[in-house]
Amino acid sequence: MDEKMKTDVLIIGAGGAGLTAALAAKNAGVNVRVITKEYPTRSQTCMAQGGMNAALGNISPDSIEEHIQNTLKSAHGQANEEAVRYMCSEAPNAVAWLDEIGVCFSRTPEGKIAQRRLGGASAPRACYAQDYTGLKILHTLYERCLQKDIEMLNERYLVDLLCKKDGSVCGALILNIRSGEIEHLFAKSVILATGGYSRVYDKYSTNSTASTGDGIATAKRAGVKLLGMEFVQFHPTGLKNSSILISESARGEGGYLLNSKGERFTNELAPRDEVSRAIHEQILAGEEVFLDIRHLGEQFIDENLPQERKLALLYENVDPVKDLIPIKAVAHYTMGGIEVDNKSQTSVSGLFACGECANHKVHGANRLGGNSLLEIIVFGREAGKSAANFNLCDDKCQNDFDFKKETNFLESLKEYKNEIDFYEKRTFVGELFYKKVGIIRKESELLNAQEELQLLQNQLPQMGVKDGSKVYNTNLVEFIEFRNMLDVCEVVVASALARKESCGAHFVAEE
Ligand SMILES: Cc1cc2nc3c(=O)[nH]c(=O)nc-3n(C[C@H](O)[C@H](O)[C@H](O)COP(=O)(O)OP(=O)(O)OC[C@H]3O[C@@H](n4cnc5c(N)ncnc54)[C@H](O)[C@@H]3O)c2cc1C
């Protein structure tokens, strides 16, 4: 085997979770390689705006116990209390660590880290850097990774996991997007940190176009257990026309939700599932819905919500200082994912997972705003440490992986015809999911969605790739993403059908 292709820990994904895991693994003294299908600094983490929760009590009294209780309440009985206790107790350390490595959190006049209140929180708890929190965190993490000489391979696409004959994971089959070459990257342990799957909702999502559930789909194909895939969080304030997010911090700072009559119709700071349903019901009743932050004043908006003002101006052509912002609820965060224990170990040996692609059982049926950035740091570090300590003494891993011949989807693609346009089908799946696997679900509509997905799976060999070129073939990458989305969608619908009662973000209506 080519020595260049081997490493101790291989991390797929360079968002906040992947980069935190990389730093933790490197600190444990092993070789680390990180791959990403885009560039680390573009990972979706950079879009996070509102903040990261930690009960510091810098604005008004708060406690770790209150953070735990708020998280458990919002999870609707679907979280693991031990995991939640661990995450919330570690939160002050996680913020202190980020502060120490250079994240420029906003400050109070006394110089303490500033905090704001987000939905479902009993106190101002989200630590923020204006409304660019994720961007500042991600770019600082990346800088630290470069400083530590962590190997970064950009524009490398995970196609499938490589498994040994006993089923354990020993590496990844990668498409080098730049060259078109296939690479077998081997490792003693692999961490999936590939983000969530909200983009299956296509234009009804706040997410980056990269959030196509790739890691979850590859894990599923390798026989890894998934959990809670029916729980998809809809965010109350996506811009009406583009679905671009206006952060919860706008309501946290005092923004109102109004209908066309100018009436407030819900508690703006209730958990997201409740507010999203309230908005959806208004829209179904023929109302338009608006976010109103005009009363906060121009100076306050420019100091605390500068990005929200720019986004509203750019994408909706309204100025929040003087105009109402038209909004709708859209898919935002996926609580479901690869089942892991408190050490980020999946059900398959050699494979770990962290970040939005994993289910650490801390968000249950509904995530609290500010708890995802927290999770990616706390459990990113756990994943890095666990993967570094895995199998270190196993010499056999070093020499001969003896891996199962992987199903090479890329080979079989040569047989695929190009009779049906998969881009049209991707749009269709987005519409189907928003209408039938959305904020309010009915059994008959879920069954219909299941049938449609089955049809698309059958048609897949008639779709295929138009562009035959080798170098930078984005058509090929997007087709593999589409295949992953279909695999993920099937599990989402099956899980939704299996859960008959409403629970958090999974809301079941009468026929
Ligand atoms: C608009 C917006 C605002 C948000 N605001 C907040 C907030 O204020 N507070 C909060 O707590 N949370 C917030 N969130 C949620 C939070 O940002 C995300 O859950 C979190 O950043 C996910 O981090 P991650 O590292 O798991 O994944 P990501 O940051 O999505 O990174 C995934 C990485 O995996 C790579 N990848 C994916 N597939 C492949 C593949 N096949 N091959 C190779 N690489 C691959 C990607 O290129 C990327 O590098 C927000 C989310 C959005 C969309």
Burial class (CB in 10 A: 0-12, 13-18, 19+), 47: buried
Q: Whose CA is nearest to atom 51 of ligand 1?
A: 48
CA distance 45 to 129: 14
Which residue ranges does the chain devote to CATH 1.20.58.100? 409-498
Query: In the structure, what pLDDT confidence band is assigned to residue 271 with cuts at 50, 70 and 90?
Result: confident
Residue 172 phi/psi, 5° resolution? Answer: -145, 145
Kindly give the distance from the C-alpha atom of residue 18 to the centroid of ligand 1, in angstroms, as a whole number.
10
Q: Report pLDDT digits (tens) over 160-212.
A: 999 988 889 999 999 999 999 999 999 999 999 999 999 999 999 999 999 99
Q: Report pLDDT digits (tens) over 355-384.
A: 999 999 999 999 999 999 999 999 999 999
Q: Which of 10, 43, 150, 161 to mutate to test the pocket of ligand 1 (most atoms within 8 A of CB)?
A: 43
Kindly give the distance from the C-alpha atom of residue 70 to the centroid of ligand 1, in angstroms, as a whole number.
23
Q: Report pLDDT digits (tens) over 8-21.
A: 999 999 999 999 99
Q: Whose CA is nearest to atom 6 of ligand 1?
A: 48
Kindly give the distance from the C-alpha atom of residue 194 to the centroid of ligand 1, in angstroms, as a whole number.
8
- Mean pLDDT (whole number) for 487-507: 97
Query: In the structure, what pLDDT confidence band is assigned to residue 254 with cuts at 50, 70 and 90?
Result: very high
Kindly give the distance from the C-alpha atom of residue 510 to the centroid of ligand 1, in angstroms, as a whole number.
34
Q: Report pLDDT digits (tens) over 342-355.
A: 999 999 999 999 99
Q: Whose CA is nearest to atom 27 of ligand 1?
A: 195
Please report the pLDDT score of residue 119 as a whole number. Answer: 87
DSSP 406: -
Q: Residues lining ligand 1, judged by CB closer than 6 Å? A: 12-18, 35-38, 43-45, 47-52, 133-134, 157-158, 193-195, 206-207, 210-211, 214-215, 245, 333, 355-356, 369-373, 376
Distance of CA 310 to the CA centre of its chain: 24
Among the atoms of ligand 1, which is closest to the Cα of residue 45? Answer: 21
Q: Whose CA is nearest to atom 44 of ligand 1?
A: 36
Q: Whose CA is nearest to atom 12 of ligand 1?
A: 372
225 close to 324: Cβ distance less than 8 angstroms = no
Q: How many CA atoms lie within 13 A of 453 on its CB side?
A: 27
Percentage of the chain with pLDDT > 70?
A: 96
Please report the pLDDT score of residue 387 as a whole number. Answer: 97
Please report the pLDDT score of residue 511 as a whole number. Answer: 86
Give the list of residues 6+ apart from residue 185 with CB closer than 8 angstroms, or none: 5, 7, 10, 33, 35, 171, 172, 174
- Asked if pLDDT for residue 399 goes beyond 90, the answer is no
**CATH number of this structure's domain 3-230+335-399:** 3.50.50.60
CA distance 121 to 123: 6
Residue 443, helix vs strand vs coil? helix
Among the atoms of ligand 1, which is closest to the Cα of residue 212? Answer: 38
Active site residues: 272
pTM of the model: 0.96
Classify strands 256-259 and 289-292 as parallel, antiparallel or unpaired: antiparallel
- Tokens representing 139 are 């770019």
Closest by CA position to 11, among listed 345, 383, 395, 389: 383
Q: Which of 19, 44, 173, 360 to mutate to test the pocket of ligand 1 (most atoms within 8 A of CB)?
A: 44
Residue tagged 């026309």 (tokens): 241
**CATH number of this structure's domain 235-330:** 3.90.700.10
Give the list of residues 6+ apart from residue 179 with CB closer than 8 angstroms, or none: 470, 471
- Tokens representing 341 are 């224990």
- Mean pLDDT (whole number) for 236-260: 94
Determine the Cα angle at 204 with ends 272 and 247, to 5°: 45
Q: How many CA atoms lie within 13 A of 337 on its CB side?
A: 34
Give the list of residues 6+ apart from residue 484 with CB closer than 8 angstroms, or none: 212, 213, 214, 216, 217, 218
Kindly give the distance from the C-alpha atom of residue 244 to the centroid of ligand 1, in angstroms, as a whole number.
15
CA distance 229 to 359: 9
Please report the pLDDT score of residue 125 as a whole number. Answer: 98
Residue tagged 């116990």 (tokens): 65
Kindly give the distance from the C-alpha atom of residue 376 to the centroid of ligand 1, in angstroms, as a whole number.
9
**CATH number of this structure's domain 409-498:** 1.20.58.100
Which residue ranges does the chain devote to CATH 3.90.700.10? 235-330
Q: Which of 45, 117, 204 to mutate to test the pocket of ligand 1 (most atoms within 8 A of CB)?
A: 45
Q: Whose CA is nearest to atom 35 of ligand 1?
A: 13
Which of 198-202, 289-293, 403-407 has the lowest average pLDDT? 403-407
CA distance 169 to 352: 10
Q: What is the mean pLDDT of the chain?
A: 94
Give the list of residues 6+ apart from residue 292 with CB closer than 8 angstroms, or none: 255, 256, 257, 258, 324, 325
Q: Tell me, letter by letter, the H, E, C secondary structure of 21-85.
A: HHHHHHHCCCCEEEECCCCHHHCHHHHCCCCEECCCCCCCCCCHHHHHHHHHHHCCCCCCHHHHH
Please report the pLDDT score of residue 415 as a whole number. Answer: 84
Q: Which of 194, 206, 334 to mutate to test the pocket of ligand 1 (most atoms within 8 A of CB)?
A: 194
Which residue ranges does the chain devote to CATH 3.50.50.60? 3-230+335-399
